[in-house]
Amino acid sequence: MNNYQLRFSGTGGQGMMLIGDLMAHYYGMVEDRQIVLLKSYGPEARGGACRSELIVDEEECYPAITRPDFLLAMSQKAYDLYTEDADEETLILIDEELVKKTDERFVHTFKLPLTEIAKEKTGKAICANIVALGAMTKILNIDPEKMISVLEEKLPKRILEINLNAFKEGYEACGGIR
């Protein structure tokens, strides 16, 4: 994997920083790649657009995304803001319940009701980020067992079981898309 660029975007409080941390741990520690992780919050404490960006490479990386290869958008505001530098080859995963207006030039868009799956399967909407992580694992052809080991290592034990369930639901929900 030479210079793969990922952007995880949403609204403050949706867990985009945690997804960035988990994916950085996976690529940096499990896959032994060079990584750069950047985080950006809007001026609002909660509710504003936010993103974390991860650059993965075999060698040292330029510390800014020039064109995302993968983009997660968990809100309309995030989609509108953070698809500006995407192109028709960018893989995009959206929460279809929260992102209603999409650009048809993005032909590799995966639409899943991430928050609805989280509410229905775990009882907690806050788990939507880990549902998204499960779907991303499938889309990006990541070994799910390796990502589960990252979750087991990085998440507190008290929330591990519900998040493992959310991860598996996201992974399975993405199975029929690709």
Confidence class for position 82, pLDDT limits 50, 70, 90:
very high
Residue 84 has pLDDT above 60, yes or no: yes
* pLDDT at residue 176 in the model: 47
Given a contact cutoff of 8 angstroms between Cβ atoms, the answer to whether 121 and 157 are in contact is no
CA distance 177 to 13: 27
* pLDDT at residue 65 in the model: 87
Spatial CA neighbour of 71 closest among 153, 136, 162, 159:
136
Which residue has 């020039």 as its token pair?
A: 66
CB atoms within 10 A of CB 40: 14
CATH 3.40.920.10 fits 4-173, yes or no: yes
CB atoms within 10 A of CB 145: 7
Alpha helices (H) along 74-143:
76-82, 114-122, 128-139
Spatial CA neighbour of 97 closest among 69, 68, 83, 118:
118
| Domain boundaries, given as residue ranges, for the chain | 4-173
Q: What is the mean pLDDT of the chain?
A: 92
Spatial CA neighbour of 26 closest among 156, 170, 145:
145
The pTM of the full predicted model, rounded to 2 decimals, is: 0.91
* pLDDT at residue 159 in the model: 96
Confidence class for position 56, pLDDT limits 50, 70, 90:
very high
Annotate 24-90 with DSSP letters as a single string.
Answer: HHIIIIIS--EEEEEEEE-SSSSSSEEEEEEEEESS---SS-SS-SEEEE-SHHHHHHHTTT--TT-
HSE-up of 95 (CA within 13 Å, CB side)? 27
